[in-house]
Amino acid sequence: MSSSSHLIIKNGTVITSSHQKKTDILIVDDKIAKIGNFTSDDDDAGIIDASGLLIFPGGVDAHTHMELPVMGIHSSDTFATGTKAALYGGTTTIIDFANQSRMESLNQTLDKWFLKAEGHVYTDYALHLSVTVVNHQTIAELEGIIKHRGVSSFKTFMAYKTMMITDDEIATLMRETSKYGGLVTVHAEDGELIESIIENNISQKNIAPQFHPINRPIVAESNAISRLVNISERENLPIYVVHLSSAEGLNCALNKSNAKIILETCPQYLLLDDSKYLHTDPLEVNKFVMSPPIRPLQNHQHLWKGIADGHIKVVATDHCPFTLEQKKLGLNDFTKVPNGIPGVEHRLEILFSEGYLKGQITLNQLVQVWSTNPARIFGLHPRKGDIVVGADADLVLFDPNIKHTISSKTHHMNVDYSAYEGLDVVGKCQGVMLRGKVAIDCDGVLKINEGYGHYIHRGACVV
Ligand SMILES: [Zn+2]
């Protein structure tokens, strides 16, 4: 008898980024050991019958903000509560953002984030580093951070006074990180334009939260993306745009074939529209205050098509929840609303129900944006993001027929409202495995302890 543990998942329909096949999966310890139809001669092997279920690779959410410090408060999900909720939705790896404050070095920022996460995370996790100061010290730290600390992607901001850097600094960072396989990502909104609109609105006492989408118009996004197209073309290097929100932004990104703009969008930009900002109750408005704002309805079809056409590579959540009590801080003043919405738990069921079942994307495309592309782009593949021999056995058993309704009454995120309250969806996770261990069983019972999640030292980004 061997000391390794054997588990067979039988009769499920395995969906990858390119294939769909009814087959069995043998898991030995934490890895996928064999894929195919076979009978086991190992009497000790556990067997999970996945008849009628789809099996997806565990999700990779490339954009989360757990315990993010903002204006003296923190986003309401800790690494523990947020990653537990992520697991319930089939996400087995998150990439969270460690944000540099201008007083600290990049290594100090990373130390702070590890302190928050280590020992508390349920999913596996990796970190992006947000760079707000580009100087000699920053540049000197990059090689060690990529090679020795496993952080190969760097976020930059074109908006927000306290975080934004110049286009030249973004270009410098692209050149320097690319030497070691790093990738620069960017919050693409024209900060100067936004600041001038905000100043003007404040001077006219137009400070109700309803002004949020007016402060951050679509043209701010498309301007910023046009600048990035020029930078990418000039430097002959790729750049990754987080949370694309509009059709105009998408068109700008595709404008020049010599530029390489990698696009991410989020469920909120595929499903929610700016009518939410017309509500007369400012607290209702504040539930949906995020940057960039949600856009007019007609943008949705273009973003779905962008996924189907392969132009949008990643759907991440930008999960950044605040409770209603926290959202009340900006009841009468848009400058005081903490920006962000919850969503880490619902990415798969939204992609499946609103995307696949409504004919917007295929199942293979779903897997691409849900798991395989973010894993590949951010240096986690083939360990994560795929169902292949040798990969971590991170798997989602998904029942495509279960109907349910998204609600704050039943979700697992630590926040007292849902951005998708009342949305009826079809399809639900009926079991989640992380590194060969049942993390959520078919009855929805959590089977792993806080801290089971590992830090994943990432390799070079691949674009
Ligand atoms: Zn974000």
Distance 255 CA to ligand 1 centre (A): 25
Distance 54 CA to ligand 1 centre (A): 30
pLDDT given for residue 86 in this prediction: 98
* Angle of helix 106-117 versus helix 136-147 axis, rounded to 10: 40
CATH class for the domain made up of 58-377: alpha beta
CA 408 to chain centre: 20
Distance 30 CA to ligand 1 centre (A): 31
pLDDT given for residue 258 in this prediction: 87
What would the two tokens of residue 72 be?
Answer: 């003296």
User: Distances in Å between the alpha carbon of 311 and those of 132, 269, 357?
Assistant: 28, 15, 21
Distance 432 CA to ligand 1 centre (A): 26
Distance 363 CA to ligand 1 centre (A): 26
Distance 250 CA to ligand 1 centre (A): 18
Distance 433 CA to ligand 1 centre (A): 27
pLDDT given for residue 204 in this prediction: 97
pLDDT given for residue 41 in this prediction: 64
pLDDT given for residue 1 in this prediction: 47
Domains 6-56+388-401+422-440 and 58-377 share a fold: no
Distance 69 CA to ligand 1 centre (A): 12
Distance 316 CA to ligand 1 centre (A): 10
SS3 call for 36 = strand
Distance 247 CA to ligand 1 centre (A): 19
Domain ranges of the chain: 6-56+388-401+422-440, 58-377
Flag residues of the chain having pLDDT under 70: 1-2, 40-43
Distance 233 CA to ligand 1 centre (A): 25
Distance 65 CA to ligand 1 centre (A): 7
Distance 132 CA to ligand 1 centre (A): 14
pTM confidence score: 0.98
With b for 16 or more beta-carbon neighbours within 10 A and e for fewer, the 151-179 pattern comes to: bbbbbbbbbeeebbbeeebbbbbbebbbe
Distance 346 CA to ligand 1 centre (A): 16
Distance 407 CA to ligand 1 centre (A): 23
pLDDT given for residue 442 in this prediction: 94
pLDDT given for residue 446 in this prediction: 98
Distance 107 CA to ligand 1 centre (A): 20
Report which DSSP code applies to 334. G
Is the separation of the CB atoms in 382 and 390 below 8 Å? yes
Which chain residues have CB less than 5 Å from ligand 1, an ion?
318
Distance 244 CA to ligand 1 centre (A): 11
Distance 166 CA to ligand 1 centre (A): 19
CATH number 2.30.40.10 is the correct assignment for the domain at 6-56+388-401+422-440: yes
pLDDT given for residue 2 in this prediction: 53
